[in-house]
Structures are given as C-alpha cells and as structure tokens.
A and B are shown apart, each in its own frame.
Chain A
Amino acid sequence: DAGVIQSPRHEVTEMGQEVTLRCKPISGHNSLFWYRQTMMRGLELLIYFNNNVPIDDSGMPEDRFSAKMPNASFSTLKIQPSEPRDSAVYFCASSTYIGANTGELFFGEGSRLTVL
C-alpha cells in the first residue's frame, strides 16, 4: 500500500523565491496535517485539514505561508517569498478522523528545504 507521498524530497532555493511542497495523503484518510521540523523548535504543527477544509492554521508562521487542499488526494504548502529561516524539513501526515483524535498519524518521508 502506498503511504503518504511528498515531493520534492529535497529543495534548494534562493531567498525570495517561491517554494511549493506537495503531498498526496493515503487514500481514504480525511485528515491531513503539515508539520515542520527544525533544530530549534522540533516538530510543530503548521496546519490541519479535515475533509479538505482548513480547521486550524494557527501554526502557520506568517502570511508568507499558505496551504491548500483542493481535493481529498492532494495538498500543497507554499512559501512566498522564502527566507533562510524557513530552512527545515516539512512533513505531511494523514489519518482517519479517529486516528487524528488518538494521534496515530501516517507521515510522509518529508521535504527538506534549504533557502540560501
């Protein structure tokens, strides 16, 4: 069975450029999460979608970050313009509704972003 698929796995870009990270959740999962992992802050929740609707975006750092989920099988996280402090590993995770309640998420392999 395919797990959560993220692309790109690695992205190196220059400050000021637009970055788009992509995620395909596990089929049948109706909850989707974007997490960011940094040395300073660890794993932190950026945004949570349920049935394609953003439920909690309080973790999105600032207006430069935006996320969309146009359908049940695809989500994007966009950073525009990117800054060096955005360098991190970005994880997408999905779950069923029950899984979200109990914390049992399925994570993708992550997208490592480096902003020069």
Chain B
Amino acid sequence: DQQVKQNSPSLSVQEGRISILNCDYTNSMFDYFLWYKKYPAEGPTFLISISSIKDKNEDGRFTVFLNKSAKHLSLHIVPSQPGDSAVYFCAAVVNDYKLSFGAGTTVTVRA
C-alpha cells in the first residue's frame, strides 16, 4: 500500500534554475514529512523536513511546502547546482517512528 507517491521518476534542470519535486500522500495521520537525498552506492541522507502543523520550511537553497488539504508536498531547490544531481525520496512519519518512502525522483542538473 503506497501511502507516499512520487509520480515523476526523473527531472532534468539546467544549472542555476529552480528544481521542483512533487509528492502526494494518502494518510492524513502523518506527523512529519521529509525529503532524503541519495547518491549512488550511498545511503539516503536527510535533507529537510516539515511538521504537519506548518506549511513551509526553508533551509538555504531548499524549501519544502506542505498543502494538507491537497495532501501534497513539494521541494524547491533554488538555484540548482551540479552537486544536487541525485535521487530524492519523499518520506512521511506515522506512529512516532514508521517512515513511508516514495519511489524516488532522479534529478539531473545540466551544466
């Protein structure tokens, strides 16, 4: 049962432009939403999170937006850099520890 969905398997963006990654979820009981970044042959690395009681969280070039009525989450990366090329996983927490992950979006930043 996929409770967190990333419908775009890949995204290509030019260096310096904005990257927008999207995520939809079905479980209204999720407490926190997160984005993880993963390079090949490495484990996922926590990037940014947002509590279910907020609608925006910003950390440097990364901003996460939460629209609870639409059950939609997005990650904005501005400006995109070559080092941002990776797989990005949307995730959500329920029951104090249970993380559900989306399938991932592969971002390629073109020079």
The answer to whether A107 touches B43 (Cβ under 8 A) is yes
Contacts of B41 in A (CB 8 A): 109-110
The answer to whether B102 touches A103 (Cβ under 8 A) is no
Given the known inter-chain contacts A42-B102, A43-B89, A103-B32, please indicate yes or no for A55 contacting B46, CB distance below 8 A.
Answer: no
Q: List 21 A-B contacts (CB under 8 A).
A: A4-B43, A42-B104, A48-B97, A50-B97, A55-B97, A56-B98, A91-B43, A101-B93, A101-B96, A102-B31, A102-B34, A103-B32, A103-B34, A103-B46, A103-B91, A103-B92, A103-B93, A105-B46, A109-B41, A109-B42, A110-B42
- Interface size of A as a range: 20 to 34
Contacts of A45 in B (CB 8 A): 98-99
Contacts of A103 in B (CB 8 A): 32, 34, 46, 49, 91-93, 99
Measured CA separation A108–B41 after assembly (Å):
10
Measured CA separation A107–B92 after assembly (Å):
16
Binding site for A on B (CB under 8 A): 31-32, 34, 41-46, 49, 89, 91-93, 96-99, 101-104
Residue of B32, B93, B96, B97 ringed by the most chain A CB atoms within 10 A: B97
Contacts of B44 in A (CB 8 A): 43, 91, 107
Measured CA separation A106–B34 after assembly (Å):
13
The answer to whether B97 touches A101 (Cβ under 8 A) is yes
Contacts of A14 in B (CB 8 A): none
Cβ of A77 within 8 Å of any chain B Cβ, yes or no, is no
Contacts of A56 in B (CB 8 A): 97-98
Which residues 80-105 in A have Cβ within 8 Å of B in the complex?
91, 93, 100-105
Measured CA separation A4–B89 after assembly (Å):
19
Q: Pick the residue among B91, B96, B104 that contacts A100 (CB under 8 A).
A: B96
Please, what's the 1-or-0 string for A42-67, where 1 marks a CB less than 8 Å from any CB in chain B?
Answer: 11110010100001100000000000
